[in-house]
Structure 1
Amino acid sequence: MLKINKQVFLNGLRLVHSQDTSTQMVALNMLYNVGAKDENPEHTGFAHLFEHLMFGGSVNIADFDGPLQLAGGENNAWTNNDITNYYLTIPKQNVETGFWLESDRMLSLDFSSKSLEAQRGVVMEEFKQRCLNQPYGDVGHLLRPMAYKVHPYQWPTIGKELDHVANATLEEVKDFFFSFYAPNNAVLAVTGNISFEETVRLTEKWFGPIPRRNVHERRLPVEPEQTEERRLVVERNVPLDSLFMVFHMSGRMHADYYVFDILSDILSNGRSSRLTRNLVHERKVFSSIDAYISGSVDAGLFHISGKPATGVSLEEAEAAVWEELSKLKEELIDAEELEKVKNKFESAQIFGNINYLNVATNLAFFEMLGCAEDMEKEVERYRAVTCAQMRVVARNIFRRENASVLYYKKSG
């Protein structure tokens, strides 16, 4: 069991810490509780734009990467629909450089036209490369609005339209920053070779003076239950036809979340998983197929996607998937099959949490969800899932009226 230490500072910043003396490094993971779902529907892509802007210079430090690299550190960031996450690793003797850098960009960015234009260009290029110029790149832009009619998971993290980032003004960008990037909307997780006392001292010194902010209150609409099947057919210049199916599932905090995750592994995790074994190797309906869950904090999606084998139509491929889903609804999963998936998950958890940076990321995420210590309960929650539960959940989710199906056809 990890020894987890926590403190909340007067400005609302939550600190989570766990010491690991087996490394000479320290990780700082700063999680902001803001993602694409917090954007204005007419100004999407802002959370992702900020992932880039946060490296474009802060109020007192023109260049984030330079001082960190001189101190022997590395950093990166990622954004999704729920959160924005920044992390760095640094040798323990230079750790204060990490606190200095991370605190300055929380205090304020260098809000200049030059910085905005530079990062806007990078983000727009990424949008073009990933969504417009890549085969199947627009799948997220097609599936999400099919599945979500009111919840802001309707658009991908990169944004709904290129124009939203292209037309973003400096004032809009500033407003977004001061509405969400605040000590009282963040969790700082610190792991590695540093004591809790030293962590508290450095956090107080560098983050303590940053004032609380009026963070926008979340009032997100709840997606109503889907009552009829939704279908879309598109033709694009792609090498192969592809099938994409999504089903509404629970959010991250629901007990059924663990059942959905295991169901996705039963279907598609390794050569012996059902879709791979039955539909790729034995029946040769698909050349490749995958099943996974979105992992969203709010009610998410269960995805199944695949490329039919040569000579197999999308209709035949879809029918074969429904046959496999029917088995999950009708027959109890074999206890041995379930145990194998649980064992895989447990070993992945144990090996993942050997790494001090992974621990920092997980501590920050679980603290944002409500309690960092819950990270230690994940294995037992997966272990508690039963074969009977899985059949009940499969019956609830794998229904035609809960499905959105996209036929992505090769043109010509």
Structure 2
Amino acid sequence: MRKTIMVFLVGLSLSLGAYAQENKIEFTEYDLDNGLHVILHQDHSTPIVAVTMMYHVGSKNEDSTRTGFAHFFEHLLFEGSENVARGEFDKYITNAGGTNNANTSNDRTFYYEVLPSNELKLGLWLESERLMHSKIDEVGVETQREVVKEEKRQRIDNKPYGSILAEISKRAYKIHPYRWTTIGSLDHLNAATIDEFRDFYKTFYVPENATLSIAGDLDIDQTKEWIEQYFAGIPAGEKEISRPTIVEPEQKQEVRDIVYDKIQLPAVIQAYHMPAQGTDDYYALNMLSTLLSDGQSSRMYKKLVDEEQKALQVVAIPFGSEDPGLYLVFGLANVGVEASELEKGMDSEIERVKKELISDREFQKIKNQVENDIVTENSTVSGIAENLANYHVYFGDANLINTEIEKYMKVTKEDIKKVANKYLNKQNRVVLYYLPESAKEQSDNAEPKTDK
């Protein structure tokens, strides 16, 4: 039976590898004179097109006294422009039968529209308006301040465990701008002047800091003509785009703390410092997370959820980022299970990886899962457009969309054991217990012990 399973897994691996090779993603890329980088991928399989714009600005580019700007602009730049009336941006898209959205990370801001392919020019026009003519005025700023406040209330303040990233980040980083989250400080946003918002726009929303990535049912030559029409006349920026050079010092002692929250069940969060995305160890750590928590057959799920029933959920998540990031292990305790008991179980599974090489069967399985994940990410035109932009912005190599899988396949069982020992150490981590507020009340009301 085991031999049969191994034959099946190897066959699946070969078929996925062949699929990836046969379905190489072809693309064209070039720069306009103003510095705008353009990437075009043609796919006539469905009559849709994804128009995306990625700006190389995230929360790490912010002033420490004005955090939250990058995320704020994600909202603000839907307000309208000189030629798009306030509140009309979304209407143009929905009336054309499309969808649109945006998101912000520590490192970049990403806008996209998915449209019927005959509406490609609409997407190009709207993104050119966002880049050149966005309205940065008091009305828009005040409107979006309230939107961001409501978002913070819904996603962080009033959401169970919603503050995890903020609580982890401020303890894991002492000097690097990753110490604050993308939503930043509402006090900073309230204190900012209109001139400060306009300065941020003029600094970062410029062609040389942007990548226009389009994928779908398009004609390459015609699309180039339209891009020239809408974007070539936009002037390059006049300000220097500074990049943070701060290096977070090595953590040499475990940090532990307790956060009391409006929750019912305890949670344990462990955050280990890890290398930047794209490094060899980064790929090995990603495969380690697949081994530990990807699916119900993963090690942590089988041990802590199924067998010992210490947890309702347990996940290992490597937060890849442009600068060294964090490898998070999150466990949600089962009813009646103490946080300390759950933590012992999480540590036990990590220690097992550090001491023993994983089996051939497990190794083949996680390779298959990684291959499948990569194929899935590139199964839509929007996913392709975003990945092409990501690879260009972060690594200057959009073709990694076709070759990055090779970096994963070079990872060995020994590499996985090595990175577990190198990074998943107590002196390199922050540990938070999330406990119900009632636990704090019980602790505060407990009578002090006296010696007799």
Per the TM superposition, whether the score is higher than 0.5 is yes
The separation in 2 between residues aligned to 1:239 and 1:373, in whole angstroms, is 47
Conserved 8 A contact 2:25-2:401: no
In structure 1, the partner of 2:444 is none
Cα deviation, residue 19, structure 1: 0.4
Among 22, 31, 39, the residue aligned to 1:16: 39
In structure 1, the partner of 2:230 is 206
The separation in 1 between residues aligned to 2:153 and 2:92, in whole angstroms, is 31
1:47 aligns with 2:70: yes
In structure 2, the partner of 1:318 is 343
Cα deviation, residue 366, structure 1: 0.7
Partner amino acid, structure 1, of 2:428: N
1:38 aligns with 2:61: yes
Conserved 8 A contact 1:270-1:276: yes
1:226 aligns with 2:231: no
In structure 2, the partner of 1:108 is 133
The separation in 2 between residues aligned to 1:108 and 1:232, in whole angstroms, is 47
Conserved 8 A contact 1:59-1:107: no
Describe how 1:124-135 pairs up with structure 2 within 5 A: 124-135=149-160
Conserved 8 A contact 2:61-2:244: no
Partner amino acid, structure 2, of 1:22: S
In structure 2, the partner of 1:262 is 287
Conserved 8 A contact 1:17-1:190: yes
The separation in 2 between residues aligned to 1:169 and 1:61, in whole angstroms, is 24
The separation in 1 between residues aligned to 2:240 and 2:155, in whole angstroms, is 31
Conserved 8 A contact 2:51-2:120: no
For structure 2, the 5+ residue unaligned runs are: 1-23, 439-452
Describe how 1:156-195 pairs up with structure 2 within 5 A: 156-159=181-184, 161-195=185-219
Cα deviation, residue 313, structure 1: 1.8
Cα deviation, residue 353, structure 1: 1.5
3-state SS, counterpart of residue 105 of structure 1: helix
In structure 2, the partner of 1:378 is 404
1:3 aligns with 2:29: no
Among 419, 423, 428, the residue aligned to 1:397: 423
- Identity value in percent: 39
Conserved 8 A contact 1:59-1:105: no
Give the RMSD, CA atoms, in angstroms: 1.3
Cα deviation, residue 374, structure 1: 0.8
Cα deviation, residue 78, structure 1: 0.7
In structure 2, the partner of 1:410 is 436
TM score, norm. by length of structure 1? 0.97
Partner amino acid, structure 2, of 1:386: T
Cα deviation, residue 116, structure 1: 1.1
Conserved 8 A contact 1:111-1:174: yes
Cα deviation, residue 222, structure 1: 0.9
The separation in 2 between residues aligned to 1:146 and 1:275, in whole angstroms, is 25
Cα deviation, residue 311, structure 1: 2.9
Cα deviation, residue 195, structure 1: 2.0
Conserved 8 A contact 1:241-1:307: yes
Partner amino acid, structure 2, of 1:381: K
Cα deviation, residue 360, structure 1: 0.6
Conserved 8 A contact 1:152-1:220: no
Partner amino acid, structure 2, of 1:375: I
Partner amino acid, structure 2, of 1:31: M
The separation in 1 between residues aligned to 2:54 and 2:127, in whole angstroms, is 11
Describe how 1:54-133 pairs up with structure 2 within 5 A: 54-62=77-85, 63-133=88-158
Among 339, 351, 355, the residue aligned to 2:376: 351
Conserved 8 A contact 2:265-2:334: no
Listed one character per residue, the Cα deviations across residues 101-157 of structure 1 (whole Å, up to 9, x for unaligned) are: 110110031122111111111011111222212222222221101111111110111
1:141 aligns with 2:158: no
Cα deviation, residue 179, structure 1: 0.9
Query: 4+ residue runs of structure 1 moved beyond 4 angstroms?
Result: none
Cα deviation, residue 348, structure 1: 2.4
1:281 aligns with 2:309: no
Cα deviation, residue 194, structure 1: 1.1
3-state SS, counterpart of residue 166 of structure 1: helix
Cα deviation, residue 61, structure 1: 1.3
In structure 2, the partner of 1:271 is 296
Conserved 8 A contact 1:182-1:212: yes
3-state SS, counterpart of residue 367 of structure 2: helix
Deviates more, 1:383-392 or 1:136-145: 136-145
The separation in 2 between residues aligned to 1:206 and 1:343, in whole angstroms, is 43
The separation in 2 between residues aligned to 1:84 and 1:178, in whole angstroms, is 15
1:362 aligns with 2:387: yes
Conserved 8 A contact 1:180-1:215: no
Partner amino acid, structure 1, of 2:64: P
Cα deviation, residue 47, structure 1: 0.7
The separation in 1 between residues aligned to 2:336 and 2:92, in whole angstroms, is 57
